[in-house]
Every structure is written in structure tokens, then in C-alpha cells.
Amino acid sequence: MTPDPLADAVAEAIGVAHVLREPAELPGYETDWTRRFHGKARFVARPGDTGECAAVLRLCAEAGAAIVPQGGNTGLVGGSVPRGGEVVLSTLRTQQLGAVDVIAGQVTADAGVTLEQLQTHVRTAGFDFGVDLAARGSATVGGMVATNAGGTRVLRYGSMREQVLGLQAVLADGSVISRLSGVAKDNSGYDLPALLAGSEGTLAAITRVRLRLIPLYGARATVLLGLAGTRAALDVAAALRRRCPSLESLEVFYREGLALVCHHAGIQPPFAASHGAYLVAECAGQRDPSEELLAALADCPGIEDSAFAVDRGRRSALWAYRERHTEAINAAGVPVKLDVAVPLAQVVQFESEVRLLLAEEAPAARPVLFGHLAEGNFHVNLLGLAEDGEERVTGLVLGLVAQLGGSISSEHGIGIAKPAWLSLTRVPADIAAMQAIKRALDPAGLMNPGVIFPK
């Protein structure tokens, strides 16, 4: 073990068992979920509460040591792993979940609580949580706020920022800001919790969050449709949005992703025929929403195949075709993942143009597209792209997105994967304003350096 006075001081503050320094203990904290991003940590600090987190950040500030906050390490843009010698601040020991406030429909959760733990906890009290995503077993409340995670229910409840009523966080100098009262209306100055949502660990370490809850709906109806292509999927999506107030999800995928999932999971495709696009739609309510969903679908032309489910087992089987895309892609190789959105009016054009562009510019790569159709959010995954082509191809795809008026990061963040392209969709004054905020809260640039802005 290399001598390190900062690690010794941190160990004294939070307990020697909670500072990981042995090379054998570090790899899980040093490589991201995709295996594309990795670097060496100086050591890993695992504080148990806000006070201990503040002590770690204060000691790091005094030593001028850079920090990488880390939750479940399921982030997909490299922002959760060290680049070279930063201290990793893991929140995984912070596990407190407060009692559900059944009058306000709120709960307070520590940053290290996983989404699945949160869901289990609030469901026992008759509530549910508005954001859901396939990484629920590992993604943490702190990480989800820091990335402003989206997922499969944004259409009805919004992204993570919309669920945050307040939070507690430690700034780079070790000072603590705390807004956990749960008062639903509070216009006393700037909305710092909203600012920290999506800040990707560059402004503060989030330690506790006050969250808005939603009703726990007892009835769900899910449909998987086979359609001619994206145009048809969008038409169905528009009809369901208009006709089904209980609509929660509209997710799209294509035949290349379906083939990967079936191969990886060892399952049969949903239909005998192959289709140009697949759409998963789900409705939820206190009463069975099947009738509402089926009536709306009956008026939709262009549906080539369909599978319908209301019971949990059959619904999960339909969802698996969509939800297992990420793991199936990862099992096939180390992907380049581009998470983009375009205005809905440009979705059809984007899907066809990006495929043409990739066929011309990266013929050896295997593109796998899927995503959240309701928000025009496509996950463009590239398998087998030669390393020396990554930057050029990324630039071309993100350039197309910008040209269509879209977003170069719809829900995963900028991380270390995309700072070079931030200026495609943010003008210099916008970037300067964001950098001024960063300097004000973290003047020494210790919080997650290299993330969002180029170093």
C-alpha cells in the first residue's frame, strides 16, 4: 500500500474500513458499466452519512485532491469512474430510507439507495415512484438525480428533476446545503436542487433527496406492436397520446436489437414475421386500462402484429424485448453509445438518415437503435466501430442531430464522452454561463474534472 497522508486523514474521519486502498479492492470502482471507460483511483472513500461526506470533501479540498462521486456506476458516459488519480467518493454506504409521508406523498432517501429499494419501500405504503429504468437494481437515487435520469415513464411523470422536491448536498469546500422540508412551494431564491439535477457530480455531492411520489396503480395493460416502420410507430404513438390518459410508456426498437436480445436471452421473437419497427406501449390506472388502450389501437391503421398482456408475468415477458437491449448489446462487445433526441417532427427523417450515414461512413459497424419514442430519444449504439473511427463517426451523428434541432445528450449526460461536442447545441454565452456557475461553486475545479466541460 502506497503511503498517502490524505487517505490516512480520511480513514481517521470515516473509519479505516471505509477507505479502500488495496489494488485488489479498486477495479469495480475504476471501470464503467460498458467497460469503455476506465482509469486509476487514488483511493475510494465510502462515507456513511452527510457529515462524513462533508469531512471527506473538506479534507480533499485542503489537499487539492479531485473527486469523482460514484453511486451504482451504471452511468453510460464515463462520468462515474476516475480518469487518473482522483478520489472516488462512493455513496453506497448511505442507505437510509425515511418513512413515507402519506399525507404529502413524499419520502426522503439517502443518495446510495437503489431505485429498486426505493420502489419496494414506497410500494408497501401504497405509493410508487415516477421514474423507472432497467438499471433499477444498481442505479442509485443520488446518481439518478446527478444525471437527471429519464427512463420509460417520462411521458407521464417527467425525468428525475421533476421528482425532486429538495435535497441535501456537500459542496466542494465541505459545506452543506440542505432543503429537505418537503414544502411543495418554495420560491426563496434560486432553485439549487433543480440545478444539481443533471450536474453530473461537477457541482456537489448529493447525499439525501426529498422525492415526490405517485399513486401505486393496481392495473396495467401492455402491448407490443409490430409495425412497418418508424412512421407507423409515430402515428400509433400520437393516437395513444391523444386517446389514453393512462398512457405511461412508448418505447421503440428495431429488428437488429430484437435479434440481439433473443440471442442473448435465449428467447423466441414475439412474432413469426419480422417488422420494420416495434413499439411497446403501457397504460396504468386504478381500474383496468385495457379497454381504453384496445379501443385506441382499433382505430390505428398499419399495425401488422400485436401481443397484449395484463398479468405481471406476461407483461414482463413483453418488456424484456425492450429492456434487455442494453445488456444484450454489452454482451456482444464494447459499444459506442450515443444518446440523442430530435423533435418528434424530425424522428422519421433522423432514423433513416442516421442509418444511411452509418452505412456510408462506418460500414463495418453494427448500429443498434432503440429508445423512448415519446421524447424522440434514440439510443444509437455502435458495435464493432474501429477505435480510430469513434470520434469522427460520433461527430457526424451528433452533427446530424444538431442540424435537426435535437439534443446531443437526451438523458445520460455529457460525462467524459461528449464534452468535445457540447458546442454543437450550446452557444458560447450558454457555455460561459454554465462555466461561471461551476467556478462559483467549485473554484478549484475539484468536482469531477473533465466532465461536461473539456479540461
Counting contacts by CB under 6 A, is residue 326 touching ligand MLT? Answer: yes
Q: Which is nearer to ligand FAD, 220 or 325 (CB)?
A: 325
Q: Which is nearer to ligand FAD, 304 or 327 (CB)?
A: 327
Residue of 244, 193, 209, 192 whose CA lies nearest to 223: 244
Counting contacts by CB under 6 A, is residue 134 touching ligand MLT? Answer: yes
Counting contacts by CB under 6 A, is residue 442 touching ligand FAD? Answer: no
Query: How many positions of this chain bind ligand FAD (CB under 6 A)?
Result: 38
Counting contacts by CB under 6 A, is residue 135 touching ligand FAD? Answer: yes
| Binding at 75: pick from ligand FAD, ligand MLT, none (beta carbon under 5-8 Å per type) | ligand FAD
Binding letters toward ligand MLT, positions 42-81, x by CB under 6 A: ----------------------------------x-----
Binding letters toward ligand FAD, positions 313-332, x by CB under 6 A: -------------xx-----
H or E, element range at 205: strand 204-212
Counting contacts by CB under 6 A, is residue 144 touching ligand FAD? Answer: yes
Q: How far is the CB of 380 from ligand FAD (least distance, A)?
A: 14
The residue from 36, 179, 315, 412 that contacts ligand FAD (CB under 6 A) is 412
d(CA 82, CA 32): 9
Counting contacts by CB under 6 A, is residue 379 touching ligand FAD? Answer: no
The residue from 50, 108, 140, 407 that contacts ligand FAD (CB under 6 A) is 140
Counting contacts by CB under 6 A, is residue 379 touching ligand MLT? Answer: yes
How long is the chain?
Answer: 455
Q: From edge to edge, which strands make up the β-sheet containing 67-70?
A: 19-20, 41-45, 86-90, 67-70
Counting contacts by CB under 6 A, is residue 377 touching ligand FAD? Answer: no
Pairing of strands 219-227, 277-285: antiparallel
d(CA 404, CA 444): 37
DSSP states of 294-347: HHHHHT-TTEEEEEEE-SHHHHHHHHHHHHTHHHHHHHH---EEEEEE--GGGH
Query: How many positions of this chain bind ligand MLT (CB under 6 A)?
Result: 7
| Binding at 379: pick from ligand FAD, ligand MLT, none (beta carbon under 5-8 Å per type) | ligand MLT
Q: What share of the chain is helix, strand, coil (3-state, %, to 5)?
A: 40, 25, 40
Angle between helices 5-14 and 50-63 (to 10 degrees): 160
Taking CB atoms, the residue at the shortest distance from ligand MLT is 326
Distances (CA, A) of 142 to 70, 100, 148, 386, 408: 9, 18, 10, 34, 23
The residue from 39, 47, 75, 82 that contacts ligand FAD (CB under 6 A) is 75
Counting contacts by CB under 6 A, is residue 68 touching ligand FAD? Answer: yes
* Cell, residue 161: 428533476
Q: What is the three-class DSSP state of 420? A: helix
Q: Which is nearer to ligand FAD, 206 or 240 (CB)?
A: 206
Residue of 86, 106, 319 whose CA lies nearest to 205: 86
Q: Which is nearer to ligand MLT, 61 or 414 (CB)?
A: 414
d(CA 118, CA 121): 5
Binding-site ranges for ligand MLT (CB under 6 A): 76, 134, 325-326, 337, 339, 379
> What is the contact surface with ligand FAD in residues (CB under 6 A)?
33, 68-76, 79-80, 91, 111, 133-135, 138-140, 142-144, 146-147, 149-151, 200-201, 205-206, 326-327, 411-412, 448, 451
